[in-house]
Amino acid sequence: MNLTEEQLAKIAKKDEYEALKKRLVQKRKEMLEDIEFAENDFDEYLIEQEREKLAKEIKTLAANLREIEEWEALA
């Protein structure tokens, strides 16, 4: 299978994607502690909103990584 330039560019960034995903997962875990020490419900709400945003980014990165692995298997 011939890969497109876009696919090859994504494959080249695989390590970057993996490192970013790892950092985001760690940041999301650290925010759990922030929730424990939130001074009020509003602060807790803001932290939860940020955690949800990170979860979406992590899911997107995971999907990109799965796609890259599929391309690598076909190449």
Q: What is the mean pLDDT of residues 9-20?
A: 97
Taking CA atoms, 43 is separated from 25, 48, 51, 55, in Å, by 21, 9, 12, 18
The CA distance from 15 to 22, in Å, is: 11
Q: What is the mean pLDDT of residues 14-20?
A: 98
The pLDDT, as a whole number, for residue 9 is 95
Percent of the chain with pLDDT over 90: 95
The pLDDT, as a whole number, for residue 28 is 98
pTM confidence score? 0.88
